[in-house]
Structure 1
């Protein structure tokens, strides 16, 4: 089985979020099945020199863009057994800082989508499946449908499109339909790429791909409702069994508390070692050094999506409790940045705030915290709760998206469960759940069982890769083969 993953970012070459982690890890897991999994990315200026200088030039072509054509160089680099192609155009990718947020993103990614298809006959790789990710690659399927289905080389290629976050849709002016994409007005309709009078890249991926997936089973159900559907719930409901949810995994070799070089005291399952890490983090961040006090960690973007308006409502009430500390790492909405900085000034020895992102510090927070707070308004999958459990930090989450699929609320009567959860998007429901968790923290038998359940879970890509492989096999009539 030959698989080509097309995305705007991929670890370790270029990363802004969880999408890059998926592109870095899923092809690796699939290759363990014998699949020939490859990746294709734009050749950005921000890719580290160590990688760009190791790339091999393959060829260059002209890519049609409406009435004109644009240069596209093709480079290749194989890393850890995964061949990755990089598409080079100096104007679109090579002379820009960052990878998103430019005024001509519609032109940049229209070029990338068309180039992915154009280069295939020139690189000696004819995929059975093109697996596109998020709006940046949403036009690959409609372009394949329009421009290439008459060509025998492309007729057997199937398409899969994964929605990582439906909130970001890539909606642009009608004028790009023919000018950049080369599509006619038959595509500009509700069952095509039209959305509120504009052209939606993500809707192109939804309506023209052979299969659509998202990154958890619960999120796949949620986005078919008006509340979570971002205006596309009707299109998603119309897919029927062409829409499915497969939860993400994490790289358990990288996120391993026994070998993580960022930790002061590496450990496997020892809560005593976690306590030593907690004291070291308290010293690092200026908190009162107490191994017995429960430490709550928060790591991630400081935005409304992450439920921070709930935290805002109860923060001072929580901090007034005697036995609790809070550590916050992240950046985002200035409103929430200011909230936490003001609170840290008020609760100097109980609350530490770092307005930035620091990978090493994030891992120390996972390893040091007893509880991990993630009360998201919506969460397609979430990786932080998986990493937290891997490090024995017990998650407190709202029952939405991937949080609902991966965190099971603790049952003190059966000993089952790996965290704590609440259903309604309500600040005091959250506070009640936090207090319930803090109560169990003082009961060593329950807490030991919770930590054992959390740290003993399988959060690897193996199970998810099995599900993707089965999906690909159904599309291509390849026999199903287990990976993990």
Structure 2
């Protein structure tokens, strides 16, 4: 089985969010199970020099995009056993960051076209193209319109994975006509039209052979108006080819026994975990006290992450017998909220308004609890890292949070964290207060950590689900 992943970012080359973690780790799990998976990405300026220096050019050709004839180079790099291809065009990609430019429609139109055009040049015609998020959404459309009848391509199947339905790649219809050489028949309401323009993502959903998203609960949620971002009707009508597969975690990358960022490495030793807590309290200027529970947030400071709930009850949260550490950047109002709370409560809260991967790992290792009160969460990686580092999650029951964290039941002793259902500040406050109270009961806490230890959130099971899906779409080829 030959599979080509098309995506706009991947760890360790470039990252803006959880998509990069998936593209950096899922192919490794699939390769271990016998699939030939390769990845194709844009060659951005921000890719570290140590990777660029190892790339070799394997192809260059002229790419026709509408009336434009553009240079397209393909570079290749083998990293951790995975073949990565990079689409090179300095006009489109030699600039800082990935997104947010006025010509993003043209930049990712070029990328979608390059993915399909490059295949004969690199000597890799896959059985299946696995597209990820809006930036690759037009690949299935282009394949159907221009490539599916050509002999080298005719057998290919396409899948698109929705990592976050909120981002849909909506641009002016005229741009789609121009860049993709599509007629009006592609641009009405039953095709690409969305919000008065046209959508990359909608194209991927309509024209791919199958759709997945990153958790079973999110797959259900996006078929409702509240979570559906105006695409719920389409998703309901096509739910026979929609599946939610939970994201996994790279257990080699996130391993408290081998993490070089930690002061004290550990696996299931609670005393060693506590040593990390004492060292972090000292580093951040919080009172050094192992008896006080430390609650962490490592997150983008944006409304999606449920920070409005924290804003609503910040005074009550500061009255709990607990310490807090916040790591992240985002919307100014939330950055200011946490700076203010830290200044007003220096013995209770440390606000690290920055992105620091090393500090984030130390916080996972040091914290007793990890809060994710998200408004919506397609999958979430924070709660998976937290459990890997034996920090007990406190989450709202939405998307992947609901699928990965089971509520603790004091009667049965079952459960791996604390959960609340409604997007309500006082429900969250009550749940955090309950967690803080149960922290004072060593038997309860030891039982919670034992329950977490039994869980496996590595990619192994999810990778097998993808393989089963691939084989159902390409039945003649077995992994």
Scaled by the length of structure 2, the TM-score of the pair is 0.99
Question: Which deviates further from its counterpart, 68-77 or 216-225?
Answer: 68-77
Cα deviation per residue 1:249-302 (whole Å; 9 max; x = unaligned)?
Answer: 111112111111111111111111111111100001000000000110000101
Instruction: Indicate yes or no: 2:153 matched with 1:157.
Output: no
Question: Which deviates further from its counterpart, 119-128 or 454-463?
Answer: 454-463
Instruction: Indicate yes or no: 2:322 matched with 1:324.
Output: yes
Matches of 1:288 and 1:14, distance apart in 2: 37
Matches of 1:289 and 1:208, distance apart in 2: 57
Scaled by the length of structure 1, the TM-score of the pair is 0.98
Shift of 1:196: 2.1
SS of aligned partner of 1:113: helix
Structure 2 residue aligned with 1:11: 11
1:222–1:480 CA distance, 2 compared to 1 (3 A)? farther
Matches of 1:297 and 1:38, distance apart in 2: 36
Gaps of 5+ in 2: none
Shift of 1:438: 1.0
Structure 2 residue aligned with 1:124: 123
Cα deviation per residue 1:360-394 (whole Å; 9 max; x = unaligned)?
Answer: 11111111111101000000000000000111110
Shift of 1:415: 1.4
Structure 2 residue aligned with 1:89: 89
Cα deviation per residue 1:424-464 (whole Å; 9 max; x = unaligned)?
Answer: 00000001111111111011111001011123311100011
Cα deviation per residue 1:153-193 (whole Å; 9 max; x = unaligned)?
Answer: 11110000000001111100011122011111111122311
Structure 2 residue aligned with 1:259: 258
- Cα RMSD over matched residues? 1.0
Gaps of 5+ in 1: none
Matches of 1:218 and 1:203, distance apart in 2: 21
SS of aligned partner of 1:337: helix
Given that residues 390 and 457 in structure 1 are in contact (C-alpha distance below 8 angstroms), is that contact kept between their aligned partners in structure 2?
no
Matches of 2:148 and 2:273, distance apart in 1: 57
Shift of 1:478: 4.5
Structure 2 residue aligned with 1:33: 33
Matches of 2:476 and 2:331, distance apart in 1: 47
Matches of 1:385 and 1:231, distance apart in 2: 28
Cα deviation per residue 1:68-109 (whole Å; 9 max; x = unaligned)?
Answer: 221101111111111111111010012x11111111000000
Cα deviation per residue 1:19-39 (whole Å; 9 max; x = unaligned)?
Answer: 111111111111112111000
SS of aligned partner of 1:119: helix
Structure 1 runs of 4+ aligned residues shifted over 6 Å read none
